[in-house]
């Protein structure tokens, strides 16, 4: 039996020491004590029913957003206002793959009638779309609905994962925030990789905490698979091996260093094995070595020129930055990438004094503190309606404030933050290197929602418990209190 914040004994509804209330002797465990391996009980039936209702509402919201705001926004043309170019690439790459033409450039195939091998993007997202195309679901509408379903699944997974670590109340609130937050569902109206990237970020968080609280090789493998899948959606997510895998294995003080290192190696090797077939395939078909994608060169190129270093587009991107490429016989996409990358690096080196200003603007755009109203208008060209962008901006600031408070609560209990916070660091680093954009902040959105949910659950639990319970909560909020004291155990 555990004692929740309200002081009344009740049955624990989470893993003991993870989401269940700790016993008094555990509240005063030595600071060096690492978490013991714990079970992960299934959620109560009532919890699942409520979560399914939230998930159903999330599906209807996403379906309505697509149907009334995004349907018909993309078509056969390559460049259409309001339809991101990447969406056209994903949609047509999936259909070409389903037709048996392999991983080729859809622009070269449809526009220039030339067959060029392509690694514009990692394959997981459009590979999933290709599976639906293979059975005849190859229209824009079909692919949009696949994305809507992915976004809906994310809501359910968030509720399950957050409950397991931070308690039932936090789990349901996190699911509601993921369901209703326009910064999340705005991504589900496009055929873009941001939706699966959000889902992968939640899965990495879930697997990371499972590894922390059950330090065996099975969760290490699961974490490696989750990180590998993330890399096959967004290449920069590979750094999660260090940001999540390293602390969740190497900081377990109750294990010998040999076991810690071995588990970390398992995480890294598993992630590598997940991406190995794609990397190996790429290494055989281009003039220059290509690993996960050839997108880095063009991204650097369209973010490093006078347009994005000075004036109104400071810290953003522009297609006008991309130089003309004179292709010779035998030229392929890896030659494009190398040429564009080297051209961009030359520009960066020749503008080193300006670079800190540009980086500050990029970070400001990423986190809505530099020209946020201009960004609302610019984001229209990324398939994000202006009205939805404005709504997302209004929601963003209070959500960040709550998330910061939630992060403070988590650290006060000495619960690791990296599994939930790592995507925030990844997208911030990406902005430093490339440019700032709300769309590319997508993998960090679950972190903001989950941490905000912890804060809301904590505040509502204390308010409902009254002043006496509030004093008991304050007494129990030592550095070793349980996560459930943060997020609440009761529905």
The answer to whether residues 237 and 215 touch, using CB atoms and an 8 Å cutoff, is no
d(CA 301, CA 318): 9
Confidence tier at 488 by pLDDT (50, 70, 90): low
For the chain, give the mean pLDDT.
89
d(CA 356, CA 171): 40
Residue 17, pLDDT above cutoff 80: no
Q: What is the pLDDT of residue 81?
A: 62
Structural domain spans, the chain: 24-487
φ, ψ (nearest 5 deg) of residue 27: -65, -25
Least confident piece of the model among 37-46, 263-272, 273-282, 347-356 = 37-46
Confidence tier at 33 by pLDDT (50, 70, 90): very low
Average pLDDT rounded to a whole number, residues 331-347: 96
Q: What is the pLDDT of residue 228?
A: 99
Q: What Rg, from alpha-carbon coordinates, does the chain have?
A: 23
Q: Tell me which H or E stretch contains 108.
A: helix 106-111
Q: What is the pLDDT of residues 317-336, one digit of tens each?
A: 999 999 998 888 889 999 99
Strand partners, 16: 20
Confidence tier at 478 by pLDDT (50, 70, 90): very low
Residue 39, pLDDT above cutoff 60: yes
Residue 65, pLDDT above cutoff 90: yes
Length of the chain: 491
Q: In sequence order, what are the residues at sequence separation of 6 or more whose Cβ sits closer than 8 angstroms to the Cβ of residue 236?
A: 426, 429, 430
Q: What is the pLDDT of residues 125-155, one digit of tens each?
A: 999 999 999 999 999 999 999 999 999 999 9
d(CA 116, CA 333): 8
Q: What is the pLDDT of residue 36?
A: 58
E runs forming strands in 148-290: none
Q: What is the pLDDT of residue 37?
A: 63
Q: What is the pLDDT of residues 220-271, one digit of tens each?
A: 999 999 999 999 999 999 999 999 999 999 999 889 999 999 999 999 999 9
Please count the other Cβ atoms lying within 10 Å of the Cβ belonging to residue 226: 27
Tell me the three state secondary structure of residue 274: helix
Q: What is the pLDDT of residue 240?
A: 98
Residue 475, pLDDT above cutoff 50: no
Average pLDDT rounded to a whole number, residues 465-469: 58
Q: What is the pLDDT of residue 450?
A: 99
DSSP state of 384: -
Tell me the three state secondary structure of residue 447: helix
Confidence tier at 78 by pLDDT (50, 70, 90): low
Q: In sequence order, what are the residues at sequence separation of 6 or more whose Cβ sits closer than 8 angstroms to the Cβ of residue 77?
A: none
DSSP state of 20: B
Tell me the three state secondary structure of residue 41: coil
Q: What is the pLDDT of residue 466?
A: 67
Q: What is the pLDDT of residue 35?
A: 57
Q: What percent of the chain has pLDDT over 70?
A: 85
Q: What is the pLDDT of residues 362-391, one digit of tens each?
A: 999 999 999 999 999 999 888 899 999 999
Q: What is the pLDDT of residue 487?
A: 59
Q: Residue 152: CA atoms inside 13 Å, Cβ hemisphere, count?
A: 21
Measured at the CA of 359, the angle between CA 357 and CA 360, to 5 degrees, comes to 65
* pTM listed for this prediction: 0.89
Residue 80, pLDDT above cutoff 90: no
Q: How many helices (H) and strands (E) does the chain have?
A: 22, 0
Q: What is the pLDDT of residue 14?
A: 44
Q: What is the pLDDT of residues 267-315, one digit of tens each?
A: 999 999 999 999 999 999 999 999 999 999 999 999 999 999 999 999 9
Confidence tier at 26 by pLDDT (50, 70, 90): very low
Q: What is the pLDDT of residues 160-176, one digit of tens each?
A: 999 999 999 999 999 99
């Amino acid at each position: 039996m555990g004692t929740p914040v309200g002081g009344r004994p009740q049955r624990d509804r989470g893993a003991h020491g993870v989401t269940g209330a700790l016993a008094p002797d555990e509240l005063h465990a030595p600071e060096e004590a690492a978490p013991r391996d714990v079970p992960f009980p299934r959620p109560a039936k009532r919890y699942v029913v409520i979560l399914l209702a939230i998930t159903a509402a999330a599906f209807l919201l996403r379906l309505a957003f697509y149907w009334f705001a995004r349907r018909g926004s993309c078509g056969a043309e390559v460049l259409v206002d309001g339809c991101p170019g990447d969406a056209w690439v994903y949609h047509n790459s999936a259909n070409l793959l389903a037709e048996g033409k392999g991983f080729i450039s859809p622009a070269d195939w449809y526009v220039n009638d030339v067959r060029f091998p392509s690694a514009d993007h990692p394959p997981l997202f459009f590979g999933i779309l290709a599976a639906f195309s293979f059975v005849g679901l190859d229209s824009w509408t079909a692919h949009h609905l696949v994305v809507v379903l992915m976004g809906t699944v994310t809501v359910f997974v968030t509720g399950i994962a957050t409950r397991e670590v931070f308690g039932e109340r936090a789990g349901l609130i996190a699911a509601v925030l993921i369901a209703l937050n326009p910064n999340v569902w705005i991504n589900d109206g496009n055929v873009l990789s941001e939706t699966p990237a959000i889902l992968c970020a939640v899965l990495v968080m879930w697997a990371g905490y499972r590894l922390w609280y059950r330090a065996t090789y099975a969760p290490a493998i699961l974490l490696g698979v989750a990180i590998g899948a993330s890399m096959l959606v967004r290449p920069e997510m590979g750094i999660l091996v260090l940001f999540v895998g390293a602390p969740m294995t190497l900081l377990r003080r109750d294990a010998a260093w040999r076991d810690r290192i071995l588990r970390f190696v398992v995480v890294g090797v598993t992630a590598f094995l997940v991406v190995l077939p794609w990397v190996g395939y790429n290494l055989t078909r281009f003039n220059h070595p290509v690993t996960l994608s050839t997108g880095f060169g063009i991204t650097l190129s369209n973010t490093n020129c006078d347009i994005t270093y000075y004036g109104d587009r400071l810290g953003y991107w522009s297609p006008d930055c991309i130089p003309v490429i004179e292709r010779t016989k035998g030229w392929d996409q890896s030659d494009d990438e190398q040429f564009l990358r080297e051209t961009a690096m030359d520009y960066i080196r020749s503008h080193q004094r300006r670079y800190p200003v540009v980086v500050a603007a990029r970070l400001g755009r990423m986190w809505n503190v530099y020209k946020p109203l201009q960004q609302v208008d610019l984001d229209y060209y990324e398939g994000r309606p202006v009205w939805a962008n404005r709504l997302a901006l209004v929601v963003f600031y209070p959500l960040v404030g709550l998330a910061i408070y939630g992060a403070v609560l988590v650290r006060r209990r000495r619960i690791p933050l990296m599994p939930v916070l790592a995507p925030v660091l990844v997208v911030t680093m990406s902005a430093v290197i490339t440019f700032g954009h709300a769309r590319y902040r997508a993998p960090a959105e679950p972190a903001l929602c989950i941490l905000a949910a912890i804060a809301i659950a904590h505040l509502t639990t204390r308010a409902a418990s009254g002043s006496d319970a509030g004093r008991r909560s304050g007494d129990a909020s030592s550095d070793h209190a349980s996560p459930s004291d943060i997020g609440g155990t009761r529905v």
